[in-house]
Structure 1
Amino acid sequence: MSSVNQSVTNGTAGSQYQGLLERALFSTLTTVPCCAFLFINGTMMFTLRSKALFRDTSRYVLLFNLLFADTIQMSLSQLLYLVAACQTTVTYPVCGVVNMIAKLTNEVSPLTLVVMSLERYVAVCFPLRHTAIITARNTAAAVVAVWAVSSLNVLTRVFLLLEFPFKELDSLQMKDFCSEVSMMLGPRSNQYDRAYNCFLFVSATVAIISSYIGVVVAARSASSTDASSRRARNTLLLHLVQLGLSLSSTVYLPILIAVSRTVARLVFVRIQNVLYVCIFIFPRCLSSLIYGIRDHAIRLALLHRLYCCRQSRRPCAAKSIARRTSFFIGTVVFEK
């Protein structure tokens, strides 16, 4: 096992010094907000699939893909956290499958943000050709390409794992808690992880910044589209912030390594819990909050959905709200 893995393992072993009350407290403090945001994400995804308007609009299809990937990633991360909090170990194959799925969805998020930025660039810089370029077929092809590229990365990691001599182990039962760090069983895995994360971060950042510059140039040359260009610039800036937050997990391991060498084991575990909330849970919940509040069409549909849940015994009022909401959604999308 690599020295990087061993360094973090020595720190994670300190969880055995945590009392039952402290472990229950940390588990509650992470599970409650995670479940709340999973509910919000689920409501958002159900809303995006409940109306033909959302299903046929490319930016909402891409948003659904982003929320879907973030929801799966957050669910698996919380599952691994609770398994570690319960001091339960699993086998290498089980840990590998869960981590590979989590890694797959984690890579989908930044790539989807890049596609969403390119869609906004085409909408502003080529408004007359937007409907011809951003079609339902092309959007579906972009989503498939995002998942295919992420899957190739996961397959590469699987091949690197096969180089580890598992036959020399007495048992496939893990001695450490299941985590992404525990599955880096060789130096090549760690080197590949650093190289891919660097390439992904640089490529995604360049794509979003280039789209932003293109929108700014188009806004200066065409004052008639100033309002739509301003909205597109703000959207691209939000995408850049989301990209930074989604890729913040790449600094998780270096921070843990540095902290594990300077503090006591119990303090390390507490710091690791805080970093988990800030790096894994918080970024995954921002997408639903940003688009749920900022986008008028989604906000109206969400308010209607929540109103129907609370007023399920009043069908007449719900139908009236539904008619008004559908009218406002159509008006907002037409104006955009």
Structure 2
Amino acid sequence: MLYANQSQTNITVGLQYQELLGTVLFAILTSVPCCVCLSINGTMLFTLRSKPVFRETSRYILLYNLLFADTVQLAQSQLMYILAVCRLRLTYPVCGFLTMLASLTNKISPLTLVLMSLERYVAVCYPLRHATIITIRNTGVAVIVVWAFSSVNVLTQVLLMLNFYFENPEILQMADFCGKDSVMLDPISDVYDKAYTCFLFISAAMVVTCSYVGVMIAARSAYTDKASAHKARNTLLLHLVQLGLNLSSTIHNPLLIAISKILDRITSVRIQIVLYVCIIILPRCLSALIYGIRDQTIRPVLIYHLYHLCCQWRRSLFL
């Protein structure tokens, strides 16, 4: 009997050790690429504020807005992922704040891509009026409108959630891990979020596609700069890819729920790590990498700052 109890204890301790080891491994596998992406995005944001040419050019201002939203969302997603891995349960107000912050930044990205597409469309199709239409003031107003529009959507979601919690005031401590599905307990909130997301991404895709078609038509004109039109066309295609990646992040949680119902826990966790890195982390770093490499003005400044950042890391490791 004593031997059986001791064996059972050893098995329990072994399982707990394996579970702890798996938790640490999963946290490392996601935290390392996330830290790398945050470093690249942070360097890119610093680069876009380091010189007047970046601060006084509309497309760089829009790029800064896009990168800022992506960086905030990346940091927030990693925080929520670590909380879930560590099995820490939050209160509904704290989780609601983190979820609404993610919703805000997630909606900023496609709207900013729309503005960037329209800016490229005006630059190619109306080159003589570009300087009068796309001004610093108009760009600032457009960015404010984007944030205000997204904030109204978040405020609407908060009001719908508060309506449910006021009807059930005893609910405060979460029984599950923090996530959008855990916060939106009212069916109306879930329906509203899905409807708004569909409307937003369909509208954004239509605007970017129409801008691409307009640039293609303008490229055939004899009065259009062929090199500029070709570069703008590639940029708009890039915007469509970014829009698709942003849309894929909205189906991340439903996809994980569907996978967990079909596969066993170990396989589901492994797939979850792959999907999280590929769908959440890497797309948030894509903009900084692509624009930093493609843009002739940004590239040398970005490489200079990245080089000094790597030197500081190396120096700190050997101290």
- With normalisation by structure 2, the TM-score equals 0.88
Question: CA 1:252 to 1:67, structure 2 compared with 1: closer, same or farther past 3 Å?
Answer: same
Query: In the alignment, which residue of structure 1 is the partner of 2:238?
Result: 238
Gaps of 5+ in 2: 1-15, 313-319
Displacement of 1:228 after TM fit?
0.4
Cα distance change on mapping 1:154 and 1:166 into 2, 3 Å? same
Separation in 2, partners of 1:290, 1:168: 48
Task: Encode CA deviations 1:216-272: one digit per residue, 9 max, x unaligned.
Answer: 111101355000000000000001100100111222233223223222234333322
Distance in 1 between the 2:143 and 2:137 partners? 10
User: CA deviation digits over 1:57-114, x for unaligned, max 9?
Assistant: 0000000000000000000000001111111111100000111111101110010000
Show the counterpart of 2:157: 157
Give the secondary structure class of the aligned counterpart of 2:305. Answer: helix
Contact 2:110 2:246 in 1 (8 A): yes
The residue type paired with residue 250 of structure 1 is T
Code of the residue aligned with 1:229 in structure 2: it is A
Indicate yes or no: 2:62 matched with 1:23.
no
Q: Deviations over 1:33-60 (max 9, x none)?
A: 1001100001001010010000000000
Structure 1 residue aligned with 2:105: 105
What corresponds to 1:228 in structure 2?
A: 228
Contact persistence 1:166–1:172 (CA under 8 A): no
Question: Which residue identity is paired with 2:275?
Answer: L
Q: What residue in structure 2 maps to residue 6 of structure 1?
A: none
Structure 2: how far apart are the matches of 1:264 and 1:169?
Answer: 36
Closer, same or farther in 2 for the Cα pair 1:310/1:243, shift >3 Å?
Answer: closer
Equivalence for 2:269: 269
1:196-207 superposed matches below 5 A = 196-207=196-207
Cα 1:165–1:51 change in 2 (3 A) is closer
Aligned AA (1:19): E
State the 4+ residue runs in structure 1 displaced beyond 3 angstroms.
165-171, 306-312
Cα 1:174–1:308 change in 2 (3 A) is closer
Residues 1:38 and 1:227: Cα distance change in structure 2 (over 3 Å): same
Equivalent positions of 1:169-248 (< 5 A) are 170=170, 172-222=172-222, 224-248=224-248
What's the CA shift for 1:311? 7.6
Aligned to 1:38: 38
What residue is the counterpart of 1:334 in the other structure? none
Residue 301 of structure 2 is matched in structure 1 by 301
Contact 1:17 1:266 in 2 (8 A): no
The one-letter amino acid paired with 2:161 is: L
Measured in 2, the distance between the counterparts of 1:309 and 1:253 equals: 34
- Which residue number in structure 1 is paired with residue 287 of structure 2? 287
Q: 1:169 to 1:260 in 2, by over 3 A?
A: farther
C-alpha distance in 2 between matches for 1:199 and 1:288: 27
The 3 A distance-change label for structure 1 pair 99 and 127 is same
* C-alpha distance 110-135 of structure 1, shift in aligned 2 (>3 A): same
**Preserved CA contact (<8 Å) 1:18 1:266:** no
Query: Which SS does the other structure have where 1:33 is aligned?
Result: helix
1:250 to 2:250 alignment: yes
Identity %: 62
- Provide the secondary structure at the position in 2 that maps to 1:176: coil
Provide the aligned length of Structure 1 versus Structure 2: 297
Superposed displacement of residue 23, structure 1: 1.0
Contact preservation (8 Å) 2:259, 2:268: yes
CA deviation after TM superposition for structure 1 residue 297, in Å: 0.7
What RMSD over aligned residues (CA atoms) do the two structures have, in Å? 1.9
8 Å CA contact 2:27, 2:82 repeated in 1: yes
Task: Report which stretch shifted further, 178-187 or 55-64.
Answer: 178-187
Provide the TM-score with structure 1 as the length reference: 0.84
Structure 2 Cα separation of the partners of residues 268 and 295 of structure 1: 40
Maintained 8 Å contact 1:249/1:279:
yes
Aligned residue identity for 2:297: A
Alpha carbons of 1:17 and 1:114: their partners in 2 closer, same or farther (altered >3 Å)? farther
C-alpha separation in 1, matches of 2:17 and 2:117: 47
